[in-house]
Amino acid sequence: MVKLTALLLGLPAAASAFPFFPDRSGFVKASGQKLVLNGKPFYFAGTNAYWFSFISNISDVSLAMDKAKESGLTVVRTWGFNELNTTKIPGGLPIYGDEGAGPSTIYYQSWQNGVPTINYGENGLKRFDKVVKLAEQKGLKLVVTLTNNWADYGGMDVYGVNLGARYHDEFYTSPKIKAAFKKYVKAVVTRYINSPAIFSWQLANEPRCGADGTRNLPRSPGTTCNVDTITNWADEISKYIKSLDKNHMVSVGSEGFFNLPEGSDDWAYNGADGDDFDALLKLKHVDYGTFHAYPDWWSKTAEWTTQWVLDHGASQQKIGKPVVFEEYGWLTPEHRLQYLGKVSNLTRIDAIKPWQDARLKTKLAGDQFWQLGVRGLSFGDSTNDGFTMYLDSPEAKVLIDEHVKKVAKLNK
């Protein structure tokens, strides 16, 4: 069957190890403002578990998926990248390797002196095969993100430092860098064309003109990088993915910053980081929009974030394509004090429940809290970055269990 599929798709026989679904059953699609699955509305509550890709024991991934499914979470976002890099520039950029999920022998691409090598081995894409197979078996959908704006797990600047970039945003414009990224994208996308477990391919996690001022390459000076830079890149890469794979949706992975034509004093609404949410949502080959919310990091309030959700609901209605509230979180008191030296009178339920209510009010297509917390893994608890919501926590009864039931009513 694999060889027959490869012939039908014009791909090498080894490109896809997954069965062929000629009727495309089980694939989520966009239809107007809604997502649909097998002809029925598919409003969903989901989560993020980037670490599915990296933790050593695949049984831990299986257990975590079971726990997510038992809680009614149907879509999980995870990383489809991890760069093993031996090439550095003065200062050691990009700086990474101390990420929250801990040390891992799993990687998907290695770099040495400007030459990338895709890892098809047992600790490479064959390992990701197992993650996808588990999702198929358990009836979960995976958003697979293909690179990172930030230094964690390598991301964009590994391409940059290996291929002669001086600035972070050259990732979006350098022909050499884009060609290397497309090569990696093709290897991953064509491998899973036939798997209904893939919810969507995502161009990048939080693409911006700039990144971390300490661990990443700097942003180019002036207005060299702007909203057109990232919009044009997203248009090119989304079109490329669709040329490879007609089964799956494509999303950008942006944080949802607006670029209001009348301008704004609020950086989240004036395109300052190169993100134009409405322009990205209008792109022909982008199936749905994404936005994130971290008022702790962004120096915003919980009330501001509620309006942020409503504004993205308005864009969904205006443009007529689905929008997903893809990442959101509120720090625990301990982590807020540790990271920011601040305290807040708002509990996590006080902060987040109004955001979820706004999502339901505007009938956004989906939401995915950051991030999934599971206990009882072989090494203990899953990683906790201060935003993690453990499924057995008291707050989960409201923000997961009750919320899941409310979302399910949208499908009736």
Active site residue ranges: 206, 327
In degrees and rounded to multiples of 5, residue 151 shows phi and psi of: -75, -20
In degrees and rounded to multiples of 5, residue 251 shows phi and psi of: -130, 160
- Alpha carbons 289 and 197: distance in angstroms, whole number: 20
CA angle 375/381/384 to nearest 5° reads 120
- Alpha carbons 25 and 13: distance in angstroms, whole number: 22
> Which residue's entry shows tokens 């090119």?
236
In degrees and rounded to multiples of 5, residue 372 shows phi and psi of: -65, 130
Q: Which residues pair with 259 in a beta bridge?
A: 270
- Alpha carbons 254 and 391: distance in angstroms, whole number: 26
Buried b (16+ CB within 10 A) or exposed e, 110-140: bbeeeebeebeeeebbebbbebbebbbeeeb
Q: Which residues pair with 49 in a beta bridge?
A: none
- Alpha carbons 13 and 244: distance in angstroms, whole number: 15
Provide the CA 341 distance to its chain's centre, in angstroms: 29
Task: Pull the structure tokens for residue 76.
Answer: 């999980």
Query: How many Cβ atoms are within 10 Å of 28's Cβ, its own excluded?
Result: 24
- Alpha carbons 410 and 43: distance in angstroms, whole number: 6
- Alpha carbons 72 and 361: distance in angstroms, whole number: 20
Q: How does DSSP assign 228-257, residue by residue?
A: HHHHHHHHHHHHHHHHH-SSSEEE------
Tell me the CA distances in angstroms from 306 to 41, 133, 267, one per residue in order: 25, 37, 17
